[in-house]
């Protein structure tokens, strides 16, 4: 019995030493399991905590995280910026402030520590980075909102992302919050959470956002000035007008942010504050929308007027003779009439009617343009003595044209200059087009200034089409009765290769050899002719390919056999009221040489240097003839600069007559 009493304390001590560790271990495990709920309760309590100032006045509420249920609250995800196939896009002019407690889809929230967190606990900024995935465009927009609690005045201060930042571009930051929970063997404690800040390697920065923002502000300001509610507030209108002048001075002629003055951002902020006042005064969105629509309509109307004025001024600049080109023929004519009759004659006149030579026909009243054509052709001719140039001009420029080529002979080639008035057979009784050009209705059509039923396209009324020089191309057999073939050249072309190969081209019994101009659906017959007229629709194919005047090889023998001139006359008579075609000589040419044209290789003739700035440079270099067709001729100031060099190298600007008339490249 005594023995049992002695063993009882020993057993109790043994039981305590065995059971106690088990109990302690079980209690520790239970406390670890319930730790997450304790943290949630803590966050919920803190998020609802309110601080009070003196007197119990409520100051602010600490906004940490939106209050969520314990079951749905999740641990913050470390990586908040993801860049897939597309880049994040930030527009400083359109970014809006988002409430912290909204948007529950595609949102990642992090608590980020500031750089000053170690030094002071007075400021505790909380950054919320929201990634909103747009399912249609697959674009990610990153919007950063910082909220700072100010203990001094008790008011929330927000860094609104709708204000344009002080920098020209918005600096985007990627916040990476990595939590590593490593339990040590001794205490089982977690290491502190580490915050890493990384910058994305690939960003998209909106270019010149500040200039666009300033211009948008001016538009908004104009709207407020015209609205009734704001107009009745004189103090606001005065302030708004002042801000508009400041912004206009800040913008000036700037088209880039880098061109803005240093105070542009201050003007932008001041204007933004004034516009905010206007928004408070005028809160009727309907009135604002109506005014914006009226401004849009007015702007479109102004654009239409400006386009029409631009077209008119372009036509005027193209057809107005520059001062230098007006001076040149006067100076040359004076010099020509000072010569005696023997000095006024060209050499090699016996070659003019030799059909075995290479004959060129050029009809022009522009001395300088004709000189460039002749010079470029001769400089590339292999046997200059076998080339003959026939120039036909009007009475005003006849003496000047002759004097130019007397002073600047075309090498060994022969040249002839004729006055169109010397072609006595070309009169209104023979040519229907001459009769039409002299009619009062035609002159009224081209020259009358004010008319209610005028054509919208001004080129239809170009007076150059009244010149017979533009129409004598249809009378080549009559002008050159003893020649078999003639190469016709416009005065706005430049020759870059020897052209003698054109005389050996097999025209297969047809009259005209030309380069076709139709590519895909462009430059076909329906563009030039009126297919609503039965005369046109019954005789021609609207989808037939057009061809170009400017470099054409004509078989004059076949021309006579086919009686092409009479075909031309018959169609001109039918078009007396301009119902079949309106513009120029190409439409009647398409009709006259219908099924009488053979297509040449495109490399013979490249067009468009007078209107198209995007011609392939290799095509220009390969071309035998380049054509400055269009309004921007190479001798005009409005000519396309990159094409001028091909023309100016065949004009001798050191020539005394050009220097006296101040004609420069």
Q: For residues 162-168, give the mean pLDDT.
A: 42
Q: How confident is the model at residue 464 (pLDDT cuts 50, 70, 90)?
A: low
pLDDT at position 610 is: 93
Is 484 within a domain? yes
Q: What is the pLDDT of residues 338-378, one digit of tens each?
A: 999 999 999 999 999 999 999 999 999 999 999 999 999 99
pLDDT at position 629 is: 92
Same domain? 264 vs 391: no
Same domain? 354 vs 446: yes
Residue 415: pLDDT over 60:
yes
pLDDT at position 530 is: 93
User: Is the distance from CB of 209 to CB of 92 less than 8 angstroms?
Assistant: yes
Is 490 within a domain? yes
Residue 114: pLDDT over 70:
no
Q: How confident is the model at residue 20 (pLDDT cuts 50, 70, 90)?
A: low
Is 160 within a domain? no
Same domain? 271 vs 362: no
Distance, in Å, from the CA atom of 163 to the CA atom of 174, rounded to the nearest integer, reads: 21
Is 202 within a domain? no
Is 578 within a domain? yes
What DSSP letter does each residue of 462-505 carry, written as one string?
-GGGG-GGGTGGGGHHHHSTT-SEEEEE-TTEEE-S--GGGGG-
Same domain? 351 vs 250: no
Distance, in Å, from the CA atom of 582 to the CA atom of 460, rounded to the nearest integer, reads: 6
The pTM (predicted TM-score) of the whole model is: 0.60
Range of the domain at 500: 323-661
Same domain? 401 vs 484: yes
Task: Compute CA distances 283 → 93, 280, 288, 536, whole Å.
Answer: 21, 6, 9, 62
Q: What is the mean pLDDT of the chain?
A: 76
pLDDT at position 347 is: 94
Of 174, 80, 175, 84, give the one whose Cα is nearest residue 137: 84
Q: For residues 241-245, give the mean pLDDT.
A: 92
User: Is the distance from CB of 556 to CB of 477 less than 8 angstroms?
Assistant: yes
Report the domain count for the chain: 2
Is 457 within a domain? yes
| Residue 652 Cα to chain centre, angstroms | 36
From 262, 283, 304, the end of a domain falls on: 283
Phi, psi of 253 (to 5 degrees): -100, 15
Same domain? 259 vs 365: no
Distance, in Å, from the CA atom of 90 to the CA atom of 107, rounded to the nearest integer, reads: 17
Same domain? 455 vs 569: yes
Q: For residues 241-256, give the mean pLDDT.
A: 90
pLDDT at position 577 is: 82
pLDDT at position 25 is: 59
pLDDT at position 538 is: 95
User: pLDDT: is 199 or 333 the higher one?
Assistant: 333
Pairing outcome for strands 174-178 and 194-198: antiparallel
Q: How confident is the model at residue 457 (pLDDT cuts 50, 70, 90)?
A: low
From 235, 267, 283, the end of a domain falls on: 283
Is 22 within a domain? no
pLDDT at position 436 is: 81
Burial class (CB in 10 A: 0-12, 13-18, 19+), 512: buried
pLDDT at position 522 is: 64
Residue 115: pLDDT over 50:
no
Burial class (CB in 10 A: 0-12, 13-18, 19+), 111: middle
Residue 502: pLDDT over 70:
yes
Q: What is the pLDDT of residues 131-162, one digit of tens each?
A: 444 444 444 443 333 443 344 344 443 443 34
User: Is the distance from CB of 161 to CB of 143 less than 8 angstroms?
Assistant: yes
Same domain? 516 vs 646: yes
User: Is the distance from CB of 80 to CB of 130 less than 8 angstroms?
Assistant: no
From 283, 304, 336, the end of a domain falls on: 283
Same domain? 336 vs 252: no
Same domain? 277 vs 366: no
User: Is the distance from CB of 472 to CB of 625 less than 8 angstroms?
Assistant: no
Same domain? 581 vs 480: yes
Is 136 within a domain? no
Structure token pair of residue 15: 């039981």
∠ CA 159-94-228, rounded to 5°: 100
Residue 482: pLDDT over 90:
yes
Residue 580: pLDDT over 50:
yes
Q: For residues 451-474, give the mean pLDDT.
A: 66
Cβ neighbour number for residue 134 with a 10 Å cutoff:
12
Distance, in Å, from the CA atom of 159 to the CA atom of 97, rounded to the nearest integer, reads: 9
Structure token pair of residue 283: 């809160």
CATH number of the domain within which 651 lies = 3.90.550.10
Distance, in Å, from the CA atom of 28 to the CA atom of 50, rounded to the nearest integer, reads: 34
- DSSP 3-state of 95: coil
Same domain? 278 vs 390: no
């Amino acid at each position: 019995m005594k023995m049992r009493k002695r063993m009882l304390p020993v057993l109790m001590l043994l039981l305590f030493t065995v059971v106690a560790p088990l109990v302690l271990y079980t209690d520790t495990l239970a406390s670890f399991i319930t730790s997450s709920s304790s943290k949630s309760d803590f966050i919920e309590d803190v998020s609802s905590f309110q601080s009070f100032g003196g007197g119990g006045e409520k100051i602010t509420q600490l906004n940490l995280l939106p209050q969520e249920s314990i079951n749905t609250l999740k641990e913050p995800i470390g990586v908040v910026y993801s860049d897939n196939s597309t880049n994040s896009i930030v527009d400083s002019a359109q970014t809006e402030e988002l409430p912290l407690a909204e948007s529950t889809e595609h949102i990642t929230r992090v608590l980020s520590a500031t750089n000053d967190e170690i030094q002071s606990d007075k400021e505790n900024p909380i950054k919320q980075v929201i990634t909103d995935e747009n399912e249609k465009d697959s674009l990610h927009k990153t919007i950063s909102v910082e909220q700072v609690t100010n203990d001094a005045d008790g008011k929330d201060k927000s860094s609104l992302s709708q204000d344009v930042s002080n920098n020209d571009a918005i600096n985007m930051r990627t916040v990476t919050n990595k939590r590593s929970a490593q339990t040590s063997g001794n205490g089982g404690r977690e290491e502190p959470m580490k915050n890493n800040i990384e910058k994305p390697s690939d960003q998209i920065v909106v270019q010149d956002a500040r200039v666009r923002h300033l211009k948008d502000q001016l538009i908004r300001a104009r709207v407020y000035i015209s609205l009734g509610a704001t107009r009745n507030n004189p103090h606001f209108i005065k302030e708004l007008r002042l801000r508009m002048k400041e912004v206009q001075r800040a913008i000036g002629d700037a088209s880039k942010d880098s061109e803005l003055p240093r105070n542009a951002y201050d003007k932008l902020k001041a204007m933004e504050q004034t516009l905010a006042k206007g928004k408070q005064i005028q809160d009727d969105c309907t009135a604002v929308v109506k005014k914006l629509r009226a401004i849009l309509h007015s702007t479109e109307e102004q654009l239409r007027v400006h386009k029409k004025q631009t077209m008119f001024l372009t036509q005027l600049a193209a057809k107005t003779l520059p001062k230098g080109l007006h001076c040149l023929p006067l100076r040359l004519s004076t010099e020509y009439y000072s010569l005696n009759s023997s000095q006024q004659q060209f050499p090699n006149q016996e070659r003019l009617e030799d059909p075995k030579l290479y004959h060129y026909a050029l009809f022009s009243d522009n001395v300088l343009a004709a000189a460039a054509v002749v010079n470029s052709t001769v400089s590339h001719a292999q046997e200059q003595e076998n080339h003959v140039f026939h120039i036909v001009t009007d009475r005003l420029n006849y003496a000047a044209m002759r004097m130019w080529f007397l002073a600047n002979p075309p090498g060994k080639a022969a040249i002839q200059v004729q006055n169109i008035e010397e072609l006595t057979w070309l009169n209104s009784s023979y040519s229907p087009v001459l009769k039409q050009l002299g009619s009062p209705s035609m002159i009224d059509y081209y020259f009358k200034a004010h008319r209610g039923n005028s054509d919208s396209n001004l080129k239809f009324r170009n007076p150059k089409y009244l010149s017979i020089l533009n129409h004598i191309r249809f009378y080549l057999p009559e002008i050159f009765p003893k020649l078999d073939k003639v190469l016709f050249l416009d005065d706005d072309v430049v020759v870059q290769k020897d052209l003698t190969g054109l005389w050996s081209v097999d025209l297969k019994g047809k009259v005209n050899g030309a380069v076709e101009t139709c590519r895909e659906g462009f430059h076909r017959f329906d563009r030039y002719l009126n297919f609503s007229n039965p005369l046109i629709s019954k005789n021609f194919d609207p989808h037939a390919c057009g061809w170009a005047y400017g470099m054409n090889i004509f078989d004059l023998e076949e021309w006579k056999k086919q009686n092409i001139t009479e075909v031309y006359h018959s169609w001109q008579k039918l078009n007396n009221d301009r119902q079949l075609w309106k513009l120029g000589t190409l439409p009647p040419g398409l009709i006259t040489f219908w099924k009488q044209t053979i297509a040449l290789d495109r490399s013979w003739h490249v067009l468009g240097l007078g209107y198209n700035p995007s011609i392939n440079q290799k095509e220009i270099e390969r071309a035998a003839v380049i054509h400055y067709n269009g309004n921007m001729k190479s001798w005009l100031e409005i000519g396309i600069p990159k094409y001028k060099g091909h023309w100016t190298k065949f004009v001798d600007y050191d020539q005394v007559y050009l220097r006296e008339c101040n004609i420069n490249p």
